[in-house]
Amino acid sequence: MTERSLQITYRKGRPFAAYLYLSRGTSQKSARTEASPDGLLVVDYAADGSPIGVEITAPEAVTLERLNMVLRDLGQPPLSKHEFKPLTAA
């Protein structure tokens, strides 16, 4: 089992993209994706339909509240301000 973690990719010292890995089995892989209407968030699902991660395509445009709405809809615990801070720190 892997724990939830946030991975951020930087370009020229600024967040370029990010991926929020959700708690999941180590063997689970993405079987399908579903993008938000504006394309800012993309949810990856395992073959069994469980969410395994959220891609954040434009970190500067996504708020903690917006991300937490998606997590709530997925049945996941909200991200804390502390966990979200690396996206806003640069």
pLDDT tens digits, one per residue of 6-22: 999 998 888 899 999 99
Distance of CA 31 to the CA centre of its chain: 16
Q: How far apart are CA 87 and CA 58, in angstroms?
A: 10
Task: Please give the model's pTM, rounded to 2 decimal places.
Answer: 0.90
Query: Per-residue pLDDT for 90 more than 70?
Result: no
Q: What pLDDT does 15 receive?
A: 87
pLDDT classification of 41: cutoffs 50, 70, 90: very high
Give me the residue spans of the domains in the chain.
5-75
32 pLDDT higher than 90? yes
